[in-house]
């Protein structure tokens, strides 16, 4: 989380700080200088406000319908990982985001079982994204002491698209067509979109803990209008997802129709 916060502070403010620096350098040319300084100040202000990121993310979240244990039956839960790290003993651990996602999926599976549904398999997707590191899916499953057939692991996928491609290849053997995805709201539209592009029916796993971890994206308050470090963090994630969706659209990995679960 600290690494993400530092990255947000460096990535999001940097273009606007460069604009501001340019405005100071060009101080002799007052009109150009003032334009650059105004753009710098406006950019820094907007990206420091949580409300900016929420207004970007909420429409994306609404593109995927939520699923509750009392809802329609599903074939599997999908949990994409989000990173791992190692401690001083060189032991690998899943990051808190991955833990929240899998925890939410396990809670939903238990709730569905309590209502009489058949056990729902959980698919964990995440390959080895760092040199010399194990597959993220394997690390997360071990951390929860889970193994087949409780969970099915995709240890090769390195991004959302590869997750969808690998799942499509395995879908016949797994008999999976209707999926519930447990991931962060900022990531949901892109993940669901590439899955729909491969022919899957997708629903969003609802989880209060995931929503709270994402700065209560479904709630607005006056504090969202106050500049704060969380604003940079949320806006970085929002802009990252917009860039990811745009890239997938340009490269044909999904279409505009794939982003919506409607007809």
For residue 257, how many other CB atoms are within 10 A of its CB? 11
151 within some domain: yes
From its phi and psi, is residue 14 left (phi > 0), alpha (psi between -120 and 50) or beta? alpha
6 within some domain: yes
Print the domain residue range for 105.
Answer: 58-216+224-259
Query: What's the rounded Cα separation, in Å, for the pair 130 and 95?
Result: 14
233 and 191 share a domain?
yes
pLDDT tier at 59, thresholds 50, 70, 90:
confident
35 within some domain: yes
Q: Say whether pTM exceeds 0.85.
A: no
As a whole number of Å, the CA-based R_g of the chain is 20
Number of domains in the chain: 2
200 and 253 share a domain?
yes
112 and 83 share a domain?
yes
150 within some domain: yes
Q: What tens digit of pLDDT does each residue of 82-118 get?
A: 999 988 888 999 999 899 999 999 999 998 888 888 8
Question: Strands across the sheet with 151-154, in order?
Answer: 66-67, 201-205, 178-181, 76-80, 122-125, 151-154
50 within some domain: no
173 and 230 share a domain?
yes
CA atoms within 13 A on the CB side of 56: 21
198 and 246 share a domain?
yes
The CATH number linked to 166 is: 3.40.50
pLDDT tier at 6, thresholds 50, 70, 90:
very low
51 within some domain: no
Query: What's the rounded Cα separation, in Å, for the pair 155 and 84?
Result: 13
179 and 249 share a domain?
yes
Q: Is 64 helix (H, G, I), strand (E, B) or coil?
A: coil
89 and 149 share a domain?
yes
């Amino acid at each position: 989380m600290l690494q993400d916060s530092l990255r947000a502070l460096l990535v999001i403010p940097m273009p606007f700080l460069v604009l501001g620096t340019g405005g100071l350098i060009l101080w002799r040319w007052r009109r150009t200088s003032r334009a650059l300084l105004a753009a710098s100040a406006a950019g820094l202000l907007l990206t420091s406000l949580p409300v900016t990121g929420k207004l970007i993310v909420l429409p994306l979240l609404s593109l995927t319908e939520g699923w509750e244990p009392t809802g329609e039956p599903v074939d599997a839960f999908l949990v994409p990982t989000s990173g791992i790290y190692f401690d001083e003993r060189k032991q690998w651990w899943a990051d808190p985001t991955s833990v929240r996602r899998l925890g939410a999926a396990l809670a939903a599976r238990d709730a569905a079982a309590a209502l009489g549904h058949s056990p729902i398999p959980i698919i964990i997707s995440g390959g080895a994204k760092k040199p010399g590191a194990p597959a993220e899916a394997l690390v997360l499953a071990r951390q929860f002491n889970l193994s087949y057939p409780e969970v099915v692991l995709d240890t090769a996928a390195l991004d959302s698209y590869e997750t969808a491609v690998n799942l499509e290849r395995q879908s016949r053997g797994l008999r999976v067509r209707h999926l519930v995805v447990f991931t962060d709201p900022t990531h949901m539209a892109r993940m669901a979109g590439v899955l729909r592009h491969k022919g899957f029916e997708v629903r969003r796993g609802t989880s209060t803990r995931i929503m709270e971890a994402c700065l209560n994206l479904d709630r607005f308050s006056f504090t969202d209008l106050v500049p704060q470090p969380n604003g940079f963090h949320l806006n970085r994630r929002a802009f990252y997802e917009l860039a990811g969706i745009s890239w997938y659209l340009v490269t044909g990995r999904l279409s505009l129709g794939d982003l919506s679960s409607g007809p």
